Amino acid sequence: MARTFRPIADAAEDNVVTMLALHSDKPCPTNGEICEWTGVPRNRLRLWLSGLQARGVIEIQRRGLPPAQSRRMRPAVGPWTDWTLRGMAGRRPRS
């Protein structure tokens, strides 16, 4: 029997929905956290999340000019995560 990508993709979708449910009323997970939970490579994460959003699995809101400086997410039915800063605006200066 040939291996297919679909069971892996289904598991990744389930993992992101679970992760977002656990982050309700907490800061939105970072890209690194999402990669760890789902196994999706960082270089494909943005496209993968956009696909989930287009299919109605998750909802994503962004604020700020591209690249967005903050975002929040939620499963299609569920509470939002809190807004989280992204990019340089969210980083602490090095000491």
CA within 13 Å, CB half, 29:
23
pLDDT tens string 36-85: 988 889 999 999 999 999 999 999 998 887 777 788 999 988 899 999 86
The pTM assigned to this predicted structure is 0.74
Q: Is 66 buried (19+), middle (13-18) or exposed (0-12) by CB count in 10 A?
A: exposed
pLDDT tens string 3-34: 544 555 667 888 888 888 888 888 999 889 99
Domain spans, the chain: 8-86
- Return the pLDDT at 7: 52
Which CATH fold would you assign to the domain 8-86?
Answer: Arc Repressor Mutant, subunit A (1.10.10)
For residue 42 the two structure tokens come to: 């960082």
- Return the pLDDT at 10: 67
SS3 content of the chain, % helix, strand, coil (to 5): 45, 15, 40
Count of residues making up the chain: 95
